[in-house]
Amino acid sequence: MRHGKKNNHLGRKTAHRKSMLANMACSLIEHKRINTTVAKAKALKQFVEPLLTKSKEDTTHNRRIVFSRLRQKDAVTELFSSVAVKVGDRPGGYTRIIKLGNRLGDNADMALIELVDFNEVYNVAKATKKKSTRRGSSRGTAAAAPAAVVQETKKEEE
């Protein structure tokens, strides 16, 4: 039985797994998206999302906590400067995993993990979309009013 065993060991010892996830997190912060296997992407998501939450509040304590997990000063600086600005208003869900298919060499499931706010392709459509409300009474009167105005202008032209 696997009661209470949350994390995927990824076939590695603890120190190797922590180092690998720290390196992958630094690469994700630096490049904003990386290709990896699905299992590693899911493990990386659990590893990096709490760090992104910590980066919202720029305090010395949070920087030290994040540095103890990432172990690269450049990645911590990048995280607290440019990445934290973009994810500041987001309540969670900072990463997206997109499955890519199988790798040629060993048929492993591959995935692309990326930071959500740095993908311009998906964010352009959402930025231009206007938020609309669905209220029956205001919609009916608003739709009828312009039609009446158009009919009145046509009568004035004749």
- 130: tokens are 């206007």
Q: For 110, phi and psi rounded to 5 degrees?
A: -105, 155
d(CA 135, CA 146): 17
Q: For 134, phi and psi rounded to 5 degrees?
A: -115, 90
Give the start-to-end residue ranges of the domains of the chain: 14-122
Could you tell me the pTM of the whole model?
0.76
52-61 pLDDT tens trace: 999 999 999 9
One-letter amino acid of 24: M
d(CA 131, CA 101): 35
CATH architecture of the region 14-122:
Alpha-Beta Complex (3.90)
94-144 pLDDT tens trace: 999 999 999 999 999 999 999 999 988 877 656 555 666 777 665 555 555
Alpha helices in the chain (DSSP H): 14-31, 38-55, 60-70, 73-78, 84-87, 120-128, 136-157
